[in-house]
Amino acid sequence: MPIPKIHPESRGQRHSLLIHCLQALLSLTILIAALLAHRAHAIETVHFTGDKVSLLPLLEFVSERNGETLDEILVRPEEDWHHRQNINNNLGQTSQPVWARVRLAGVSEAFGQPIVRLNYPHHDYVDFYLFERGRMIRHFSAGDQLPFDSRPIDQRTFWFPLDDASADEQEIYIRISTPGPLLMPLDLMSYKEAAEEEKLLYLWAGAFLGIIAIMALYNLFLYFSLTESSYILYVLYLLSAGVMQATMFGFGEQYFWGDRPGVNNQVIAFLAPFVQLTAMAFVLKFIDLKNFGSVLDRSVAYLMLFTLIVMSIASFTVPYSLIVKLGHSIALFGVVCALYIGIKGWVMGMKSARLFTIAWFAHLVFIGWYLLDMTGKIPATELGNHAFAIGFIAELSLLSIAFADKMNQEKELRINSQTKLLDMQVAMNQELDNKVKERTSALEKANRRLEELSVTDGLTKLFNRRYFDQVFRDHYEQSYKDQHPISVMMVDIDFFKKLNDNYGHAFGDLCLVRAAQLIRKVVTMPGAFAARYGGEEFVVVLPKTTEERAAQVGEILRSAFEKTTVTQGNQSKNMTISIGVACTIPSQPGLEEKLLSVADACLYQSKENGRNQVTRSEQLDEAG
């Protein structure tokens, strides 16, 4: 059969069609790759408006390789960085340091002092890097393995200031290296809001530790009165748990051993098993396991005691990370054992064991919550971080009742003593709470008053010269960034020295007060502010205002003064003012004094031309 011939034109058309298809496919592939690359390289941005923002949902993480430097981290491929699948503060325990990054926007425009707060006090090393326009502008180092005074802000957790931020956007990189749980409750907030939250924490911690201290003293008193060993074991349990929780709050590092790096980890490593040791010893004595328990029960209980003693001693040599992991497991097992012992005592007919069992069940629920929170099995929360303390208070309350029930079977006197002391405890707590509220309120009022006095002129109640110098510079720099005009009016009361000499200083002061009132009444534009510049001279700053508009405001102000009569007793006087107006669109920052000098020259020209008038910089140029 003859092979059909393919026409050359048909063959060329097919070849051309194939090339076009391949080109279209290649273009589509490049487009998709570009879109994916753009998406991969886009660091998440947090927009700060002044309210507290959790950074965790937008953080990107990467694990540090052995010996990896900051420069190497900065050039790590984008595919190495990843978000957490679950928004969980707890990243678990890891032997490698972890890096996190995020981009911030709006920080430089925020009012007050913006900070980044890592609200967990037990990381060995925390390095904070602030980048702006690809350049690192600040680096802070903190952590348990460094002296406490190395922290940028003196707080129990890690606060990093963002005062140096000046561009529209910044990038932060945080490196954390710690053998314990790696918690990342990272927030962007104002210093004031963080301080308010810290006050609430101190109130909560003070109430918690106050309850423990009162109950420890109470039970110590009962021990010396009744010589019952259960009480001294309970006191040891209370004190060790109280010190442990105070350490977990971060107070130990802040107030006691902050100048000795590493001690914080050692204290936690020792107290983690020791608290359980004192608890188990107390349980065995309270339930009287010798009479109620079987041989197996006693064997397990004494094995548990031996394990906890070994762990307490070994905590001085065994690595901290291992002690923490073992401590979590032993703590949960110990509470379960105590619960079992309580249930068995209940079944065996021990009446006081009923409340004891309920107390340890409550403790088991909360300590289970706390351990799951600390090991990252459930989403970490602020409440979960304090679950141990909450459970301990619940257990403490129920065990106090159990103690009373047990002692009621022996001596009626013990019940009466406990009731009186509990009433005293409630009254003391209420009194302490009232005093704290009163002193806190008084301190806040005093601070507000002090802040007002530091920026206000005592006579006129306008801003003072020091405040003007600071804020004028900020307004000038902002005008430079935005390329908006900024106007300045220098205002001087005409012949004020003569007025002072003829009418007296008291009348002169009254004129200054009245002058300030007129300035406040006339200058009402958004963003404008006035200050007493010195003696009878005032200065008014008008952002985003042209020289023509500023001169109009000056004319209104001059007319208002001319129509105003200051009267004191039988003395009265019409004041007039001379005004100099200057305006500029800043070409570079740092020239605010030059603008002020031009306005002052215009003021001088107004005086030279007969006073009671407004002179603009344009008129100054013409006169020159």
Considering the domain boundaries, does residue 542 fall inside one? Answer: yes
d(CA 312, CA 233): 17
Least confident of 137-151, 160-174, 350-364: 350-364
Considering the domain boundaries, does residue 183 fall inside one? Answer: yes
- Mean pLDDT value across the chain: 80
pTM: 0.55
Residue that wins the pLDDT comparison between 393 and 623: 393
Taking only the tens place, the pLDDT of each residue in 576-624 is: 999 999 999 998 988 889 989 998 999 999 999 999 999 998 877 665 5
pLDDT of 353 > 50? The answer is: yes
How far is CA 481 from each of CA 242, 471, 485, 536, rounded to the nearest angstrom? 54, 15, 11, 33
Using the 3D structure, point to which of 190, 219, 247 is the last residue of a domain: 190
Q: State residue 1's pLDDT score.
A: 39
pLDDT of 26 > 90? The answer is: no
Considering the domain boundaries, does residue 315 fall inside one? Answer: no
Considering the domain boundaries, does residue 444 fall inside one? Answer: no
Considering the domain boundaries, does residue 594 fall inside one? Answer: yes
Q: State residue 617's pLDDT score.
A: 86
Name the strand (E) or helix (H) holding 571.
strand 571-574
CATH classification of the domain holding 110: 2.60.40.2380
Among 536, 537, 548, 592, which one carries the catalytic annotation?
Answer: 536
Q: State residue 371's pLDDT score.
A: 61
CATH classification of the domain holding 549: 3.30.70.270
Using the 3D structure, point to which of 174, 190, 206 is the last residue of a domain: 190
Of all residues in the chain, what percent carry a pLDDT higher than 70? 73
Using the 3D structure, point to which of 126, 158, 190 is the last residue of a domain: 190
Please confirm, yes or no, whether 536 is among the known catalytic residues: yes
Residues 150-166, mean pLDDT to the nearest whole number: 92
d(CA 241, CA 222): 20
| Domain extent for 475 | 465-623
Number of compact structural domains in the chain: 2
Q: Residue 183: which of 372, 7, 6, 380 has the closest Cα?
A: 380
Considering the domain boundaries, does residue 82 fall inside one? Answer: yes
Strand partners of residue 142: 126
Considering the domain boundaries, does residue 135 fall inside one? Answer: yes
Burial of 322 (0-12, 13-18, 19+ CB in 10 A): middle
Residues 488-493, mean pLDDT to the nearest whole number: 92
Considering the domain boundaries, does residue 400 fall inside one? Answer: no
CA atoms within 13 A on the CB side of 58: 17
